[in-house]
């Protein structure tokens, strides 16, 4: 199969600090031509189709008539590893929080098959799983009982035929490029199940999270103290460009034992290779810097 390419036309509302909302419901009437991104299907063996679902469980899109689904008529095949990707940013600079949202249904074998979601902030050079990722603000709208652990990371699995509203939220100051990848994985055992159906993709810029948050009083909060090795840094969010430029770890003699470059303003650092003891953490952002004493106790 030749490489398939689909223009996704997006409706954008821009106001204030370049605030925007992009959406794709796969139905034509909800799009504005000229404000488009691309969805790329994996070449040669893609099982993804855009159309009207006509199966027993997958018989209607979230917004009629079309959705993107692992075959609109047939069960998903054995030994599949089929993906589609899209660019959530299209190179436009912005600040705040980037929310990626979609609706989905699942009908997958819970042993051996799964729906993998990944993101890349380096133009596809490396891909990461958002489940429990320290730089992803939240990932919700699904039942954890439907998540199955694979070597590649956590995946959606099992059967969930209620339309679930799933969100990913990224620090836009850090994720100045963002690619999304959705992959259906299956083993060699036939399941005769219907697969994965998604609809109503929305990409939006906000300055608040999709869940209620307490206002952080201190500019930088480091936890836990003492730590067994994983140290969480949370910097108070602002509506302006905001990023951690450098983190330096010194021992009590002043010697630099670790240092890190640019990071999101919410990040976890692995210091587990340091010996037990007291250290000084210097966190420098583009808006200020603070020195915080920490303790490592394995």
pLDDT tens digits, residue range 119-136?
Answer: 998 899 999 888 767 677
- 287 with 173, same domain: the answer is no
Total domains present in the chain: 2
More confident of the two residues 216 and 274: 274
| Cα–Cα distance for residue pair 106/194, rounded to 1 Å | 8
Final residue belonging to a domain, choices 184, 206, 228: 206
| Cα–Cα distance for residue pair 43/233, rounded to 1 Å | 41
Q: Which among 163, 34, 40 has a CA at the least distance from the CA of 101?
A: 163
Q: What is the DSSP string of 7-50?
A: EEE-----BTTTB-EEEE-SSSTT--TTSEEEEEEPTTT--EEE
Which CATH number goes with the domain that contains 229?
Answer: 2.60.40.3080
Stretch 221-236: mean pLDDT: 88
- Look at residue 74 in the predicted model and tell me its pLDDT: 95
- Is 116 inside any structural domain? yes
- Is 85 inside any structural domain? yes
| Domain coverage including residue 231 | 220-296
Single pTM value for the model: 0.70
| Cα–Cα distance for residue pair 105/75, rounded to 1 Å | 14
Angle at 42 between CA 38 and CA 44, to 5 degrees: 130
- 77 with 224, same domain: the answer is no
- 119 with 258, same domain: the answer is no
- 198 with 113, same domain: the answer is yes
- 29 with 58, same domain: the answer is yes
Contact at 8 Å (CB) between 127 and 153? no
Final residue belonging to a domain, choices 206, 241, 263: 206
- 133 with 228, same domain: the answer is no
- Is 215 inside any structural domain? no
């Amino acid at each position: 199969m030749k490489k398939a390419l689909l223009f996704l036309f997006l409706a954008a509302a821009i106001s204030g600090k370049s605030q925007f909302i992009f959406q794709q419901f796969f139905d034509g009437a909800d799009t504005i031509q000229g404000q488009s991104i691309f969805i790329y299907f994996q070449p040669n063996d893609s099982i993804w189709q855009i159309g009207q679902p006509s199966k027993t469980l997958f018989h209607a899109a979230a917004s009629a008539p079309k959705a993107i689904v692992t075959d609109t008529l047939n069960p998903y095949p054995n030994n599949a590893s089929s993906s589609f990707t899209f660019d959530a940013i299209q190179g436009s600079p912005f600040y705040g929080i980037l929310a990626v949202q979609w609706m989905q249904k699942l009908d997958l074998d819970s042993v051996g098959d799964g729906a993998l979601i990944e993101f890349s902030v380096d133009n596809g050079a490396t891909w990461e799983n958002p489940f429990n990722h320290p730089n992803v603000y939240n990932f919700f709208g699904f039942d954890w009982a439907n998540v199955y652990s694979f070597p590649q990371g956590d995946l959606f699995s099992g059967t969930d035929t209620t339309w679930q509203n799933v969100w990913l939220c990224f620090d836009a100051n850090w994720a100045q490029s963002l690619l999304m990848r959705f992959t259906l994985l299956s083993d060699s055992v036939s399941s005769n199940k219907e697969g994965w159906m998604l609809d109503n993709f929305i990409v939006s810029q906000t300055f608040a999270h999709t869940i209620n948050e307490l206002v952080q009083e201190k500019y930088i909060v480091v936890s836990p103290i003492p730590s067994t090795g994983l140290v969480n840094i949370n910097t108070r969010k602002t509506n302006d460009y905001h990023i951690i430029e450098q983190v330096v770890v010194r021992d009590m003699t002043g010697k630099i034992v670790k240092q890190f470059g640019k990071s999101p303003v919410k990040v976890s650092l692995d210091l587990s290779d340091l010996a037990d003891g007291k250290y000084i953490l210097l966190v420098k952002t583009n808006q200020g810097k603070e020195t915080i004493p920490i303790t490592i106790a394995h």
